[in-house]
Amino acid sequence: MFRFRENNVDTRLYLQLQDMAAVLSGIPDLKFDYAYGSAIDKEHFKLTASANWGIGNKRAREAGLKTDILLRTVGTLHHSDIPVMQHLMAAISESALTKFAGQLFTLFENIRLEEIVKKERPGTTELFAIRRRYLRHYFSQQLEANVTRSLSLDELYCLIYLSIQADTPDPSFPSANEKQVEQLDTLKPILFELFEASSTNDVARLTETIIFRLENNYTDMMHDYFIFPVDDLSSYTEKNAFDELTRTDPLANDSLEEDVSDEKSETFEQQFSTWHGENENADRNQNFMQFELEQGTRSSLMGEGARETEEGDQATAAIQGSSGKSEQNDYSVMEAMAKRQAGQDNEASGGAYGRENQYAVKEIKNAETPSDADEELYREYAEEIAPHQRRLSKTIEKMLEHKRQTPRRNLSTGRLSKKLTAVVTEEFPRLFYKKDDESREMDAAFTLLVDCSASMLNKMEETKKGIVLFHEVLKSLNIPHAIIGFWEEATSVKEQLQPNYFHKIHSFDDSLYQNHGAKIMQLEAQEDNRDGYSIRVAAEELEARNEKNRFLLVFSDGEPAASNYSENGIIDTNMAVSETRKKGIDVIGMFLSEGDISEQEDELMQNIYGRERIMIPTIADLPEQFAPLLKKLLLKAM
């Protein structure tokens, strides 16, 4: 709906909408995405909502997106008649008003489906009220614009919407052209029949009637206000979209291609608790009993992760344990089908690195021996950040000493405390304390990921000063750490190959060596940045560490951008951050700017990293801004 605009993605809302689409549709694997409008896309197995809802109006945006999903899942999937739609589109294909006809039908069908959704789910009434108020305001603005531009049919379309969705019985439109108002009056008897429409066929009939009356007097409309609710309509063979998306014949995995004849087909009248009834495919001459998770559909048994046991699992075990070789069809091939399906699902999800990164390839680049120039520049940067490093190291050392000297109290064994009040005041008093004999080393490990995309060109030198501070502080405290630059080689990207480089400046094994700091000078701005993939790769090595406290810091200067990644990069990166945090690794994003930070930039980082983000307005201030963060993390690791 409307003109598409690129916006920062609210990851919380996106994931909520994804769950909403899957639950309401009853199809767990149905994907959700933003697009030009709201439609069901069978080819890509997804449902879309308009990306342009409520720009600047958060309440209207959420209501618009959610009602788009409600209309398509509760409405179109189950209550729209696909053959009727196909017949309508064929009938109007040669009309001079094809665009107008498609959008008029979509408008009418949405209004019909809205009433069905509200009846089935009364709690959605307020969401649709917000949707209508927003659209009335929008179409009022569009009416004025179309009058000014003399777009007659666009103007009439706006009048039709405002008339049938008005709050008053007979709204007036003083700014509209008299000709369009008169045309609207002649159409009103037909339009009012919409409120009695009980099927897609009724809506199609009203649409065709209006098109027949107008096609000799108008040229087709210019703008797109809605898109047709079902994408690639001609490819559908079922009566409704739900049956089409969940059809089990032909099977989604084609390992078993054996035809079942009428003679070999068996029908079971008895229903078992863990079985569906037979799948009646009269036109295909087949019958199969099916588990709760149906064999051969687009959904998978395992999904994208470990699955909890379900009721049908016991039936599966019993059947597999007691079955013998069939004298008719050999169903032992089902096991091979299941394995193949699992492999397909893993490939579709992109494995451990996410669906958006299924073609990303890890390329390791090790740092070289520093040159004399690198050594000299490193000493210069080290001297510049020395005051920050000394203050920070001194603070941490004092805290470690204090921790060593401070006794641990309220223990069940140890030295008896002089304060015995707890004997009287507590039911189970803990009266003992212990003193540590020696200071324990900090139980922590750090990884610093540095965005080496082209946009870092003017920021890299100042960024290196912050990295030098990071290295010098952790080295002085004997804390293992890794420093890695990352980028995607855009010039080498092919259709199914996306080389992603990881420039290993310091590894956990060599980060504490005295003479390795100058390797930091080898970091340079390169090409693209695939942040979600890079975070997952870095997290693998960090997850394998034995330290109790593990931290992943990401230096970046903006939105992820790589091949086939721009639209979903923010979401994928947010998911990578979330997955890493679930592994017990703290992830902090650091935004490097060259001036005042805009609200849009702050919202971008919030959508990716949440509260765990540091916004640095001036790159020259990086060491000063970085020191407090390191202090906070190191104190947490004590």
Q: What is the pLDDT of residues 536-590, one digit of tens each?
A: 999 999 999 998 899 999 998 878 888 888 668 888 999 999 999 999 999 999 9
Strands 549-556 and 408-411, bridge-based pairing: unpaired
User: Which letter does DSSP use for residue 596 in this model?
Assistant: P
Residue 434: predicted pLDDT: 58
* CB atoms near residue 567 (< 10 Å): 15
Q: For the chain, list residues with pLDDT below 70.
A: 1-9, 56, 248-351, 399-441, 514, 566-567, 638
DSSP string, 305-364: S-----HHHHHHHHHHHH----SSS-TTHHHHHHHHHHHHHHHHTTGGG-GGGTTEEEEE
Q: Can you tell me the distance from the alpha carbon of 236 to that of 221, in angstroms, rounded to the nearest whole number? A: 27
Question: Helices marked H in 193-284 — which ranges?
Answer: 200-214, 241-246
At residue 401, the 3 state secondary structure works out as helix
Closest CA to 554 of 638, 453, 444, 632: 453
In the DSSP assignment, the letter for residue 125 is H
Q: Residue 418 and residue 434: Cα distance in Å, rounded?
A: 13
Q: How many CB atoms lie within 10 A of CB 153?
A: 21
458 contacts 594 by C-beta, under 8 angstroms: yes
Residues 449-463: b if buried by 16+ CB within 10 A, e if exposed = bbbbbebbeebbebb
Cβ-count burial 516-531 (b if 16+ within 10 Å, e if not):
bbbbbbbbebbbbbbb
Q: Rg of the chain's alpha carbons, rounded to an integer?
A: 32
Q: What is the pLDDT of residues 286-315, one digit of tens each?
A: 433 333 333 344 443 344 444 444 444 433
| Residue-level pLDDT at 99 | 93
Whose CA is closest to 566, among 3, 129, 6, 1?
6
User: Residue 251 corresponds to which amino acid?
Assistant: L
Say which residues have a Cβ less than 8 Å from residue 457's Cβ, sequence separation at least 6: 525
Token pair for 224: 């797109």
User: pLDDT of 328-349, one tens digit each?
Assistant: 444 444 444 444 444 444 444 4
Decide the pairing of beta strands 432-434 and 31-35: unpaired
Q: Determine the Cα–Cα distance for residues 555 and 568; give it in Å rounded to an integer.
A: 20
Given 3.20.20.70, 3.40.50.410, 3.40.228.10, 3.40.50.300, which CATH number is that of 372-405+441-636? 3.40.50.410
- Would you kindly state where each structural domain of the chain is located, as residue ranges? 11-234, 372-405+441-636
pLDDT of residue 62: 92
What is the token pair recorded at 535? Answer: 């975070």
